[in-house]
Every structure is written in C-alpha cells, then in structure tokens.
Amino acid sequence: MQLFEASALSDGAFDQILSFLRAGGVIGFPTDTSYGLGADPFSERAVRRIFEIKGRPETKPILLLVNSIEMATHIAHLSDKAQELAQRFWPGPLTMILPARDSVPSLLTAGTGTIGIRWPSAEFAERLIARFGRPITATSANRSGLPSTVTASEVCQQLGDDLELVVDGGRLPSRSGSTLLDLTSVPPRILREGPIQEAELSDVLR
C-alpha cells in the first residue's frame, strides 16, 4: 500500500493519485466527515471494486462528492428547494438525495434512479475533485458493519489488504456521517441527522 501525506503532496504525487483514479483505482482519502473510498463513478470496474473492498451489497447506492452546485446539476436534477439548500449549506456536511440524471450509472444508484450528493468542506477532497474534473465517489472507507474511520491508520487496519493507496489527512473531528436528506420524497425526509440539525433545515424546508 502507498501512503501519501495530504499536507505534503508534491505535484508529482498528486498526478500519480489522479492517474491511479483514471485507471480505475480506488483510494482512501479524508473528507469533511469520515475517510471515504474515492473512485471514478463512471468506471464500472472501479465501482464494483468498492463493493468488493467494503463487502457491501450492490443493492446499496454510493454517494458522490462534487465541488460546485453546477457540477451537481450535471448528475442530478436540483429543484428550487435543493438549490436553496445547496447555497446555504454547501460546502458542508449535508448529503442530498436527488433524482439522478440518465447519465448516472445504475450501479451507483442501485437501480433507485436517485443519487446522494455532497459538496464537502475539506481542502484535499475539493482539490481532488477540481483536478479530477468530475465527481468522485465517497462511500465510507470501512468494512460494511464496522465503524467509520477517522484516521488513515484505521483505514489501513480495516482495508489494508485490499486498498492500494491511502491519503493521510490526519485525524478527522468526528465519526458521525453527514446529515442525509431525501428530497425525492414528499415531504422531504431526514434519513440521518448529522452535523446539520433538523431545526436548521426546517428554516428552508417549510
């Protein structure tokens, strides 16, 4: 396994990470919540590799990270309410479940026709997406059923035998995932309350 320090990445090392992703590789990397598994969401091989690494059934969707509201509109249909929420809470720990565009592979949506999207408030993740030029997967970097990981060493302990490349962003502040809001239901439903509380969302949703 290759281990890179996020705070000391040379241009050459960053290019190596990007080349690995473009070739269908899967990396462990820090987000604004827990460590995630990053891959090209439009590479079937890469996405199937995520399911294998996690021991996760393909009936569970995989969320995507973006670095702008505009990028989000290329992979999902954003209602006026979704746009308002994005403008208020992004970048930040709010994942919105939205109707996926036809271009999004069904392997990511698990056949639901919906996709979870977040714009993270995390320097390395934002830089990675910007340089990659498209969304990146970010399902949590842990074995299914085990706790989420907040250090690179925890990622290595859980996934070390199966993961070839990990970016160490230090210890992350919390194991709690992002707030998960389903905007495809009427009324919208909070599926998981994280750092952004229901009261904050209610100001926009009502």
Extents of the domains making up the chain: 2-205
Residue 28, token pair as written in the block: 């462990």
Answer whether residue 136 shows pLDDT above 80.
Answer: yes
Give the pLDDT confidence of 150-186 residue by residue, as tens digits.
Answer: 999 999 999 988 999 999 999 998 777 899 999 999 9
Q: Is the dihedral of CA 44, 52, 130, 118 positive or negative?
A: positive
CATH number of 2-205: 3.90.870.10
92: left (phi over 0), alpha (psi -120 to 50) or beta: left
Report the C-alpha gap between 180 and 192 in whole angstroms.
Answer: 5
CB atoms within 10 A of CB 18: 14
Answer whether residue 122 shows pLDDT above 90.
Answer: yes
Give the pLDDT confidence of 5-37 residue by residue, as tens digits.
Answer: 999 999 999 999 999 999 999 999 999 999 999
Model pTM score: 0.95
